[in-house]
């Protein structure tokens, strides 16, 4: 059974979809750990309720009082995150609402085995506010994308997409909730069908 580690930063409803699929035997994988950059992430509670081990690797802006060269704190965080995830020996790493860019040491360690979900139809509306940006632009159709995470901002190989209509009167929250429904079903399907032997180019 392929081993999966899930990265979360927020409420964790995408993680919950994976946990629910695992519980009913339709995930075809075993979630072995949940890692977050935030101790207050709701996803960590969901992991605890499911009896899963969790690790928090906080990215503290002023990580130490000692002056450091630019990027040193970020590089240290990336290395710590890499070690935390590696401790679970995953076949696949899933970013489920993880709001940090994964650095070079992480991507080198888990090359080609890191996937994520974005609440827009990439390459449109990348970044931390995909739903808000799509709504502000006035698109009539947006959606969700599951992709292979690379060093860019939401620039990796697209694995699955699903369109979601923007409805009159939609707010960012109402639209995002409908997009998450699409994300959850696609994420379960991609994790289920992902093959450890299949090294993505």
Residues 6+ apart with CB under 8 A from 25: none
Angle ∠(64,65,67) on CA atoms, nearest 5: 95
* Among residues 93, 100, 180, 188, the one that binds ligand GRF under rule CB under 6 A: 180
* Among residues 5, 27, 85, 96, the one that binds ligand GRF under rule CB under 6 A: 96
User: What does the per-residue mask of binding to ligand GRF show for 103-132, with x meaning CB under 6 A?
Assistant: --------------xxx-------------
Q: Choose between 111 and 177: whose C-beta lies nearer to ligand GRF.
A: 177
Contact 37, 59 (CB under 8 A): yes
Contact 4, 188 (CB under 8 A): no
Interacting residues with ligand GRF between 137 and 176 (CB under 6 A)? none
Q: Inter-axis angle of helices 13-23 and 42-49, to 10 degrees?
A: 20
Is residue 27 at the binding interface for ligand GRF, with CB under 6 A as the rule?
no
Smallest distance, ligand GRF to C-beta of residue 174, A:
13
Question: CA-to-CA distance for 193 and 188, rounded, in angstroms?
Answer: 9
Q: Exactly one of 48, 118, 129, 176 is catalytic; name it.
A: 118
Q: Name the site residues for ligand GRF (rule: CB under 6 A).
A: 10-15, 96-97, 117-119, 180, 183
Q: Which residues are catalytic?
A: 118
């Amino acid at each position: 059974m392929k081993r999966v580690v899930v990265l979360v930063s927020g409420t964790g409803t995408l993680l919950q979809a994976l946990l629910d699929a695992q519980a009913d035997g339709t995930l075809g994988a075993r979630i072995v750990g949940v890692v977050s950059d935030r101790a207050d992430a709701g996803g960590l509670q969901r992991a605890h309720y499911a009896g899963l081990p969790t690790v928090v690797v906080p990215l503290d802006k002023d990580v130490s009082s000692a002056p450091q060269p630019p990027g040193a704190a970020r590089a240290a965080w990336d290395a710590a995150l890499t070690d935390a995830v590696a401790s679970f020996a995953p076949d696949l790493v899933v970013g489920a609402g993880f709001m940090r860019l994964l650095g070079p040491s992480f991507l080198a360690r888990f090359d080609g085995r890191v996937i994520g979900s974005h609440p827009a139809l990439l390459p449109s509306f990348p970044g931390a506010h995909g739903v808000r940006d799509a709504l502000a632009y006035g698109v009539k159709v947006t959606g969700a994308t599951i992709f292979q995470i690379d060093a860019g901002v939401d620039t990796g190989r697209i694995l699955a997409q699903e369109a979601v209509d923007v409805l009159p009167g939609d707010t960012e929250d109402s639209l995002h909730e409908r997009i998450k429904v699409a994300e959850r079903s696609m994420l379960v399907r991609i994790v289920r069908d992902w093959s450890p032997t299949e090294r993505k180019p």
